[in-house]
Each structure stands twice: as structure tokens, then as C-alpha cells.
């Protein structure tokens, strides 16, 4: 039976949608691909429309006004309006150019052995534990360690990073409780203080950087004669930490979930480890860690089912686009050999994810080595989902490796 989507409102979604949004997303795509929420914002679910929005220079990321309304004057507002993701050129171009220096192929090649070393060390611990939580004991540790190396975060702070990340990113959900808002503000304040000290320390000790650290380049890098201010540095480092570990944690957790739910695909991958790159792409498509993006229409935009006028606030459903049958035959089928697989889990356009190559390498090494080393990996209890619509992942995932 077709779902009634006339009354659907992205700002009023419930636990059912978070648990499995796809029946609703399929119905929206088929019946109302330019769906309007009660507040007038549009929710786009077709691949062609979402790609067109991301490719257009007229679709803006600057959220100063929206965040002013949503947050008022507070640390969350300061953070989100300063990070590159929520800005347009020319500020976006400056910050992006400086950060891009941290993600060159040469840097990535330096990271590969570090990633493999961290994964193998984690897997030794996993073997000792036997029974464990896949998220706490494995998936979240790798990205935290990698980004901490990049930004020179000492080990004693690392345990707190995922809590900060969830608190800060959770405030971007369409519906945010006062408690979640307070937690987000506290996280920005604490995290800013830590980074302020670390940046000052690196300014005073430029030769003290460890392997893989890129903080120095961010501090002293210049684009068009412009350096980042201390506040811009702090807020963009917070963003980098958040962008890099929540999403990568979800990539690993979601992928293992999909493989355990599809034992034929798991066996196929265990028998042919060379399929890992395609498997990671398929996991990114089917369970995209970032499900929803936003843009403000700076001009009218013509889409497949009509025109959105200038001034429309747009929600792009990455999750729906990645299961659009016009782009992906049999879109709900999980097929690690799917080809072509032009998913947009990292979007496209000028804001395309800067960490995509790093995330792919982390995913391939972590997922590939885990399932090869522990062929009898099994779930031992209920998985618990992140209670968020924008970010798709698990907070708990009990498993046994013996
Ligand atoms: C599976 C893991 C990841 C996913 C699914 C993902 C997804 C995305 C998406 C969808 C965007 C675009 C958001 C928008 O403009 O609306 C983005 C931007 C970004 N991501 Fe990622 N990301 C991942 C991992 C990483 C990692 C590991 C890093 C860095 C350590 C990173 C750094 C960034 C940065 C800096 C941007 C902002 C780019 C800009 O605004 O120009 N991401 N990511």
C-alpha cells in the first residue's frame, strides 16, 4: 500500500523514520519529488535533482541567517557559521585551499601504513576481548586516532572527542531539544579551549609535530595573502575532527551491519578480498553516513518536476538519491559487485568531501581486515541507532569474534 506522504514534515519525523526512512523516501520520490515541509522548505529525493543542486554555484551554503534564528548568539552559532562547510566563496575557497594541503595523495600515502598499524593493533585487542561493542571498541577508535594525529591532539583528550562530535553535530538535526542544545554549546566551549592551547603550543614549538600532523600547515598556510585567524583555525579544526570521525565510524559500523545482514555478500567478500573497494562503495550508497544536506537557493532552479524559486531553503536527501531506481537498478538490493555505482555519499560540487579518499582507505583497511581475521564474527545483541535523521549510524553494536 502506498504511504500517504501529503502530511510528511521533515521537521516532525519520528523514531520510525530514523529506524528505516526508505519506504517514506521511495514514496516521496515517486509522488512528491519537490516535497514542501510545513515551514516552506523543500525536501528533494531524486538523484538528478540533488546532483543538480550540488553542482550549481547559485545554491548557497552560507547559513548565517538560519543559524542566527536557530541558535541565537552562542558557541554553536559561532562554530557552525565559521566552519568552511557552511560558507560560500570567497571565505570557503581560502579555508578549503588551506585544508586541502592536508589531503594530498602524498599525505594519504603517508597515512596508509599508519592506518594499517592502528587497525592491526585494534584487532589484537578485539581478539583479546572476544565479546565487544563494535562501535566503542573498534569503529570509533580508528578515525579518532587518525584525525588526532593530523591535528596533534594528545592521547589524553581523545576519549572525549566522539562525545563532542555527537553533541555539536546533533544540534544540526531538524528537531533539537533544549538539553541537546546545551550539550552542543558546552562541547564547543570545551573543545575550543583545548584547541586554543594546542595551536598556541604549536606556534611556540613549530618543530615538535609528530608523524602525519598538519596543524602547522593550517597555522602558517596562506591563500591569496590571507592566513586563518585563531578563531577560524579553532572552529575549522573542530569541524575537521567532527567531519572525519562520526561519519567514518558510521561507515565501518553500517558496513559490518550490512554484511552481517547479507551473509552471501559477506562470504563473497571473504572469498575474494579484492572486492573490498566496491564493497565499501556499496555500503556508502545503501547506508550513507550523512543522509541530509542543505542549500539556500540564491537563484531560481529548474528541477525535474518544477522550479524552486530563489530564497527556497532546500533539504537534499542523499539517502534517497542513493536509492533512486532511475540511477541504481534494483536500488534496495545490497550488491558489492554493483557497477557502475555513482553514489553521492560524499556529494559533488565545490563542497565535495575533502576527506573522501582518507575515509575510503580507512574503510577498506578496517572492514577488510576485520572480516578476514574474524570469519565467524557474529552479532550478540540488539544494535542501537544514533537517534538522528541527518547522521545514520549505530551507537551500540554488540558482537563476538571467536
Ligand atoms: C565515510 C565518511 C565520510 C562521509 C560520508 C563524508 C561526507 C561528507 C559530505 C556529504 C560532505 C558535504 C557536506 C555539504 O556541503 O553539504 C562532506 C564535507 C566535508 N568533509 Fe566529509 N565525509 C566523510 C569523511 C570525512 C573525513 C575522514 C574528513 C576529514 C578528516 C572529512 C572532511 C570533510 C570536509 C573538510 C568537508 C567540507 C568540504 C567543504 O565544505 O568544502 N570528511 N563530507
**Residue 285 pLDDT:** 98
Lowest mean pLDDT among 37-41, 171-175, 193-197, 317-321: 171-175
Whether pLDDT at 81 is above 90? yes
165 touches ligand 1 (CB under 6 Å):
no
How far is ligand 1, taken at its centre, from the CA of residue 31, in Å? 30
Work out the percent of the chain whose per-residue pLDDT is above 90: 79
290 touches ligand 1 (CB under 6 Å):
yes
Averaged over 282-290, what is the pLDDT?
98
Q: How far is CA 146 from the centre of its chain?
A: 15
- Please enumerate in sequence order all residues whose Cβ is within 8 A of that of 124, keeping only pairs 6 or more positions apart, or say none: none
**Residue 141 pLDDT:** 92
**H or E stretch including 319?**
helix 318-321
Q: Which of 111, 300, 338 is nearest to 212 (CA)?
A: 111
Work out the percent of the chain whose per-residue pLDDT is above 70: 99
Buried b (16+ CB within 10 A) or exposed e, 192-230: bebbeebbeebeeeeeeeeebbbbbebbebebeeeebee
Report which protein residue has its CA nearest ligand 1's atom 15. Answer: 351
Averaged over 264-290, what is the pLDDT?
98
**Residue 2 pLDDT:** 52
How far is ligand 1, taken at its centre, from the CA of residue 382, in Å? 29
244 touches ligand 1 (CB under 6 Å):
yes
Q: Which of 176, 169, 182, 168 is nearest to 11 (CA)?
A: 176
* Cβ–Cβ < 8 Å for 295, 59: yes
**Rounded CA separation 253/387 (Å):** 15
**Residue 263 pLDDT:** 98
Whether pLDDT at 32 is above 80? yes
Q: Which three cell numbers stand for residue 121?
A: 593493533
78 touches ligand 1 (CB under 6 Å):
no
Averaged over 349-369, what is the pLDDT?
97
Report which protein residue has its CA nearest ligand 1's atom 1. Answer: 248
Averaged over 381-392, what is the pLDDT?
94
**Residue 85 pLDDT:** 96
- The model's confidence at residue 102, banded by pLDDT at 50, 70 and 90, is confident
- The model's confidence at residue 5, banded by pLDDT at 50, 70 and 90, is confident
Averaged over 64-93, what is the pLDDT?
94
**Residue 287 pLDDT:** 98
Whether pLDDT at 1 is above 70? no
CA angle in degrees (0–180, nearest 5) for 357-363-367: 160
Q: Which of 325, 313, 308, 285 is nearest to 30 (CA)?
A: 325
Q: Domains in the chain, ordered, with CATH?
A: 10-400 (1.10.630.10)
Averaged over 228-235, what is the pLDDT?
94
Whole-number average pLDDT of the chain: 94
What residues does 314 pair with on adjacent strands?
42, 295
- Please enumerate in sequence order all residues whose Cβ is within 8 A of that of 111, keeping only pairs 6 or more positions apart, or say none: 146, 212, 358, 361
Terminal-to-terminal C-alpha distance of the chain = 43
- The pTM is what? 0.94
How far is ligand 1, taken at its centre, from the CA of residue 354, in Å? 6
Sheet holding 378-379, edge to edge: 131-133, 398-400, 378-379
Residue 159, Ramachandran bin (φ over 0: left; ψ between -120 and 50: alpha; else beta): alpha
Q: How far is CA 49 from the centre of its chain?
A: 21
Q: Which of 19, 249, 285 is nearest to 134 (CA)?
A: 249
Q: Residue 98: is it exposed, middle or buried by C-beta count within 10 angstroms (0-12/13-18/19+)? A: buried
- Which atom of ligand 1 is least distant from the CA of 318? 10
Buried b (16+ CB within 10 A) or exposed e, 263-288: eebbebbeeeeebbebbbbbbbbbbb
- Please enumerate in sequence order all residues whose Cβ is within 8 A of that of 318, keeping only pairs 6 or more positions apart, or say none: 50, 288, 290, 291, 292, 293, 344, 345, 347
Q: Ligand 1 pocket test: which of 55, 146, 243, 363 has the largest number of ligand atoms within 8 Å of its C-beta?
A: 243
* Cβ–Cβ < 8 Å for 353, 359: yes
How far is ligand 1, taken at its centre, from the CA of residue 242, in Å? 9
Amino acid at each position: 500500500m502506498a504511504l500517504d506522504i501529503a502530511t510528511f514534515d521533515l521537521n516532525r519525523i519520528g523514531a520510525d523514520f530514523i529506524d528505516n526512512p526508505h519506504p517514506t523516501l521511495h514514496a516521496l520520490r515517486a509522488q512528491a519529488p519537490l516535497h514542501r515541509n510545513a515551514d516552506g522548505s523543500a525536501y528533494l529525493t531524486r538523484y538528478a535533482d540533488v546532483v543538480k543542486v550540488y553542482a550549481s554555484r547559485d545554491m548557497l551554503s552560507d547559513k548565517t541567517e538560519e543559524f542566527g534564528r536557530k541558535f541565537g548568539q552562542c558557541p554553536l552559532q559561532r562554530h557552525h557559521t565559521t566552519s568552511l562547510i557552511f560558507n560560500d566563496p570567497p571565505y570557503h575557497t581560502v579555508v578549503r585551499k588551506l585544508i586541502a594541503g592536508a589531503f594530498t595523495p602524498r599525505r594519504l600515502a603517508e597515512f596508509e601504513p599508519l592506518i594499517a598499524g592502528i587497525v592491526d593493533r585494534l584487532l589484537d585487542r578485539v581478539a583479546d576481548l572476544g565479546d565487544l561493542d563494535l562501535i566503542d571498541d573498534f569503529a570509533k577508535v580508528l578515525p579518532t586516532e587518525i584525525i588526532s594525529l593530523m591535528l596533534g591532539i594528545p592521547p589524553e583528550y581523545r576519549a572525549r572527542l566522539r562525545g563532542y562530535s555527537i553533541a555539536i553535530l546533533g544540534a544540526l538535526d531538524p528537531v533539537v531539544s533544549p538539553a541537546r542544545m546545551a550539550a552542543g554549546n558546552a562541547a564547543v566551549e570545551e573543545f575550543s579551549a583545548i584547541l586554543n592551547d594546542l595551536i598556541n603550543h604549536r606556534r611556540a614549538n613549530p618543530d615538535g609535530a609528530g608523524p602525519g600532523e598538519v596543524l602547522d600547515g593550517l597555522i602558517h598556510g596562506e591563500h591569496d595573502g590571507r592566513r586563518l585567524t585563531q578563531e577560524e583555525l579553532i572552529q575549522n579544526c573542530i569541524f575537521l575532527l567532527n567531519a572525519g570521525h562520526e561519519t567514518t565510524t558510521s561507515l565501518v559500523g553500517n558496513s559490518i551491519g550490512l554484511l552481517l545482514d547479507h551473509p552471501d555478500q559477506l562470504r563473497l567478500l571473504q572469498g575474494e578480498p579484492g572486492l573490498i573497494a566496491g564493497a565499501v562503495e556499496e555500503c556508502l550508497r545503501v547506508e550513507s553516513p550523512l543522509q541530509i544536506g542543505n542549500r539556500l537557493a540564491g537563484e531560481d532552479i529548474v528541477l525535474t518536476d518544477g522550479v524552486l524559486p530563489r530564497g527556497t531553503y532546500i533539504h537534499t536527501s542523499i539517502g534517497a538519491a542513493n536509492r533512486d531506481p532511475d540511477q541504481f537498478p534494483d536500488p534496495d538490493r545490497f550488491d558489492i559487485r554493483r557497477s557502475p555505482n555513482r553514489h553521492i555519499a560524499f556529494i559533488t560540487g565545490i563542497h565535495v568531501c575533502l576527506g573522501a579518499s582518507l575515509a575510503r582507505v580507512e574503510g577498506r583497511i578496517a572492514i577488510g581486515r576485520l572480516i578476514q581475521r574474524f570469519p565467524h564474527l557474529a552479532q550478540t545483541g540488539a544494535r542501537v541507532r544514533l537517534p538522528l535523521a541527518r547522521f545514520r549510524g549505530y551507537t551500540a553494536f554488540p558482537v563476538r569474534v571467536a
